[in-house]
Amino acid sequence: MGGRRERGAGRGAPGGIVGEGTVTLAAHLALYGLPAWHFLTTRDREERLLLTAVVKRAQEIREHELKALASYIAAAMAGKRL
């Protein structure tokens, strides 16, 4: 009889190889000061989903800020002062 595998073995990042998308998401987490390493090593699916949702929302907010800044700069260069 073979050895018994741990429950959930072979699933998720812990002890395994992670995909490029997971690494990219972890990098974004790190940029926003969120726990990237914990994201890569946790087995808690809900926690991973929550961190994913938080970083995606942070990206949306940052994109909105950059667009607003670009508009402000364009208006200033056109001679308008906001």
Look at residue 72 and tell me if it is in a domain. yes
Q: What is the pLDDT of residues 22-68, one digit of tens each?
A: 999 999 999 999 999 999 999 999 999 999 999 999 999 999 999 99
CA distance 67 to 64: 5
Look at residue 3 and tell me if it is in a domain. no
Range of the domain at 73: 20-77
Contacts of 25 (CB under 8 A, 6+ apart): 39, 52, 55
Domain count of the fold of the chain: 1
Query: Would you state the pLDDT for residue 37?
Result: 94
Look at residue 42 and tell me if it is in a domain. yes
Query: Would you state the pLDDT for residue 18?
Result: 75
Above 80 in pLDDT, residue 19?
A: yes
Look at residue 15 and tell me if it is in a domain. no
Look at residue 70 and tell me if it is in a domain. yes
Asked if 34 contacts 55 with a C-beta cutoff of 8 angstroms, the reply is yes
Contacts of 58 (CB under 8 A, 6+ apart): 28, 32
Query: Would you state the pLDDT for residue 9?
Result: 47
Look at residue 6 and tell me if it is in a domain. no
